Amino acid sequence: MPSSRARTIRSRRINLRASDRQEKLIRIGAETSGVSLTDFILESACLQAEHVLADKREFTASSKQWKVFVEALDRPARIKPELARLFSEQTGAGFSTEDTEGTE
């Protein structure tokens, strides 16, 4: 699992605690991969972070699902009385939707 990326200067410290089992597993994984413990942990954590973030940015849909989605977007908006009533009510903090207009 050696990284093909150029080494960068590491100036930030991340402290963590692990159980004996977790430490042993991670050390064996690093040794088996032929990388340092630090490289193994950072590469693994960054890969997991990229997966999590990709799930928030990219969505996969079949052509049928995409067609249904686009049709829904193309339909004219409908006023839903329940939502109109909800948004016209004051919140517990004493603010209404009128108080927040133009704050975006």
Write the pLDDT tens digit of every residue in 76-98.
988 899 998 888 887 665 555 55
CA distance 91 to 13: 42
Q: What is the pLDDT of residue 54?
A: 83
Lowest mean pLDDT, pick from 2-11, 30-39, 42-51, 63-72 = 2-11
Q: State the average pLDDT over residues 33-60.
A: 90
Domain ranges of the chain: 20-90
Does residue 57 surpass a pLDDT of 80? no
Q: Give 10's contacts (C-beta < 8 A, 6+ positions apart).
A: 38
Say what the pTM is. 0.49
- Provide the pLDDT for residue 26: 97
Contact 39, 3 (CB under 8 A): yes
Q: What's the gap between Cα 14 and its chain centre?
A: 20
| pLDDT of the residue at 59 | 77
Tokens coding 95:
């603010």
